[in-house]
Structure 1
């Protein structure tokens, strides 16, 4: 029996959700709201933005998520004076999830070449890395569990596709899962010799619950429409179909006004709907 094609969604700011509302609502496509992740979005801005989001999403019956804050910090922060700021930002984003009936929040991975090399060559460094994340994220994970929100760890500069999976397992919470950004993986494959994108997908296994779909040339984090770069989309979707369940698929592009271009490319390849 032929598998049903997965339904594409999108990661968008509120104004772009309004622009693509008809397309998003026609199949109750998954939506990731990206208006709350920026450092310029302050506590005082939140009530008005949440009210706007509720109005925009009225009648939407698909699944929703929020991109958590990520700029200028890492979740393995070692500085005890900075840790409370990180927690505050992430906890605030979780409350926004609760207000908007969102059940996922994207959190950026702390890993990259330097940290991965330390972990690979020192069991002490590995233990310290995991415990730093546990210390920073402990209250955030507890709150996510109570709210029923999955925290999905997104690869950024990761070159080891299995390290986030080991971190999620070490944190020991059903609320901690994984995200894959196809463009990030492709960039690290080309520039740093990381495994190809489909290997990142397979390494996520049952914990991979969320995917950012974007294309690149391998040089930079372009966030081009699928079809404009060199991500091997057929291999990526073949890997996704091998997982125990299909993750949530969200187009995340630098030109959100032209969102349908990448969607139509993937649909034309017979990979999604």
Structure 2
């Protein structure tokens, strides 16, 4: 990554830890979001041993799922939906003198979403997400760390709530060359039991995922990149009936292209388009993403 501002990293590197709006699939899939699919290039190219600072980020994405992948992995033109999602994030970055060469971030994230499907529409504020990240630099070109988030079960509307707690944890990594950058994550999502009055009790399946980004540092203000996002979700178990919910496990792989624009030393804009290339029991990803980050 090219060293462009006071902390020695690009602004895009400071906006790393953002789960997608639908981290964990429910009994019925309602979006094709792969965990952390929103990330861009340099997400994990992070500094160490710095003075505290803050970042505010606004994320948005829209997914027009005109088809679904069935249980056999075949793409079917049915079950279409349009979903618009957003996340507003505040991040505090800090290093501690007592722990040299290791740095931390603490985040508070609020999700927003609007869905149009089957002649109905709904929207509002979704779950709130909080958690820390920690990392170090094995050498001046690389970063290695961990992150973990808790996602609350509540939302402003019943349709916006998950009704169970979820934890997303992953290993994060980055490597920088003179003209290229490669970074990504590898992690899992585990969830508590879903309880609702008058309904069966469910245990959501574990989710495993990875997000990879490879970019070309074309100029000091423009950086195109390729993306690969993958997830595999275990099936949902009906604890009341002691049965597995049919066709509740899922899998998806999506590829995309985008570009990062450095508007100023403190402001960046990153758009991207992504589409599924294979899947099972999931709406297709046919999505555009955007990220606006401001450092202060």
Which TM-score applies when normalising by structure 2?
Answer: 0.30
Which structure carries more strand by proportion? 2
Higher Cα Rg: structure 1 or 2?
2
- Specify which structure has the higher proportion of helix: 1
